[in-house]
Amino acid sequence: MNFSKEIYIGPARSIEEEGSTLVFDFGSEGFERGFAIRIGGRIYAYRNWCPHMGLELDWVEGDFFDHSGQYVICSNHGALFDPASGKCIYGPCEGQTLKPLNIRIMDDGVWVTTYPHN
């Protein structure tokens, strides 16, 4: 039995440019927030939840990159994450990772696979 489901999070054109982001709600009650980012020509998606204190990463909605544009940053205490792996490479949660979400482009839309425990 498969409990996963795919949810549409936006048009593919909204995340075509390098460094663009897309925020979305997901989860069984829609209370979880996630974000998708394009970097290095690829799209990655994560739950918007910092492993340090369980807070959302962005103070300004959709603002996930540090000043260099190379790393995802948590606005709360400055943890830096590798955007491709989600691994914290600097900060209070160093070595921990963001929770990845599966993403795919289909019919010119961006879809995320979620599970009940998401």
Query: Which residues are near ligand FES by CB under 6 A?
Result: 50, 52-53, 55, 74, 76-77, 79, 91-93
Which residues, including other chains, have CB under 8 Å from residue 34's CB and lie 6 or more apart? 9, 23, 24, 25, 26, 45, 46, 47, 48, 101, 112
Classify 61 as helix, strand or coil: coil
In the bound state with ligand FES, the residue whose beta carbon lies nearer, of 15 and 50, is: 50
In the bound state with ligand FES, the residue whose beta carbon lies nearer, of 21 and 48, is: 48
Min dist. Cβ of residue 61 to ligand FES (A) = 16
In the bound state with ligand FES, the residue whose beta carbon lies nearer, of 75 and 118, is: 75
Min dist. Cβ of residue 98 to ligand FES (A) = 10
Min dist. Cβ of residue 103 to ligand FES (A) = 22
Min dist. Cβ of residue 47 to ligand FES (A) = 13
* Residue owning tokens 């482009």: 105
- Rounded to an integer, what distance in angstroms lies between the CA atom of residue 48 and that of residue 56? 5
- Rounded to an integer, what distance in angstroms lies between the CA atom of residue 75 and that of residue 108? 31
- Rounded to an integer, what distance in angstroms lies between the CA atom of residue 14 and that of residue 112? 15
In the bound state with ligand FES, the residue whose beta carbon lies nearer, of 51 and 101, is: 51
